[in-house]
Amino acid sequence: MLSKTKKRWSIFLFLSPWIISFLVFELYPLIFSVYISFTEYSGLNPQKIFVGFSNYIQAFSDEVFLIALRNTFIFVILTIPFTIGIALILAILLNNKNLPGRNFFKAGFFLPSVISMVVISMMWLYLYSADGLFIKLGTMMGFDLPARSFLASPDSALMSIMFMDVWAAFGYYVIFIFAGLQNIPEALYEAARIDGASSWKIATKVTLPMIKPTLFFVISINTIRSFQIFSEIYTMTGGGPRNSTQTMVHYLYEVSFKKFQLGYGSAISYILFIIIMIFTIIQKRALRSDY
């Protein structure tokens, strides 16, 4: 009996660093952020005034928040199909064992994923500038382009960041989808060929169903990442010009840490959390995934 008690205490002792860090750095901030989302709290003094759902109601009458909400939805809806579509096509091509330089292409596609997004943003900031490569190439090809950065115009700033984001992100998902394709038993393809299935039938009846869990995973991860877009906006435009690239997380940052409205910022973060949760449930049901 004594040995069992000692064993339990020793297990608890070994787990205690994780339990303490979880309670202090994860559970407490989570509960505290929920609480302050119902208060008027600046973070500069300990005073917290309970305001109920006022912060949540304020968000939907805040013009800048609604612009940020619209821009975030545009970013998510337009980037995810291109990012996942390009990743899927390239992963299928890489799955061909006869493709020359297969490992070289895998490393090349994945390379942007290991570079800091701030560094990538600074590089594209130059490419989009008035003296950048895109303006010079367009002018040489005879296009009548304005002599200013693509990021300086409200009409092209968000689309330019979306283009850069697709370029930077698709290689990360190529590796996941490629790994999913590698797990499909070759016997399934051989059986389909013996039954006379066409390439289209094999792709739609064998390949896609077998990688459905992988697709659900990469689409979910990409959706969450896209809703939380921040580094690119912060580095390249700061939400401008005229809030044309303002997104929910960047606006949350401005409200919380520039205007010191931490209660309102917390309310925005939980609105974003609910939106992401709804999207994830819809994706799970659409793909009929048990994962």
With H, G, I as helix, E, B as strand and everything else as coil, classify residue 53: coil
Token couple for 94: 């890489």
pLDDT in tens, 14-41: 889 999 999 999 999 999 999 999 999 9
> What is the pLDDT, as a whole number, of residue 291?
53
> What is the pLDDT, as a whole number, of residue 288?
64
Token couple for 259: 């205007």
Residue ranges, the chain, pLDDT below 50: none
With H, G, I as helix, E, B as strand and everything else as coil, classify residue 264: helix
- Radius of gyration of the chain measured on its C-alpha atoms: 24
Token couple for 80: 């995810």
Are residues 173 and 224 in contact, defined by beta-carbon separation less than 8 angstroms? no
Residue 251's CB is within 10 A of a number of other CB atoms, namely 24
With H, G, I as helix, E, B as strand and everything else as coil, classify residue 23: helix
Extended strands (E) in the chain: 39-40, 49-50
pTM of the model as a whole: 0.86
Chain CA centroid to CA 62, Å: 25
> What is the pLDDT, as a whole number, of residue 289?
57
pLDDT in tens, 62-104: 999 999 999 999 999 999 999 999 999 999 888 888 888 888 8
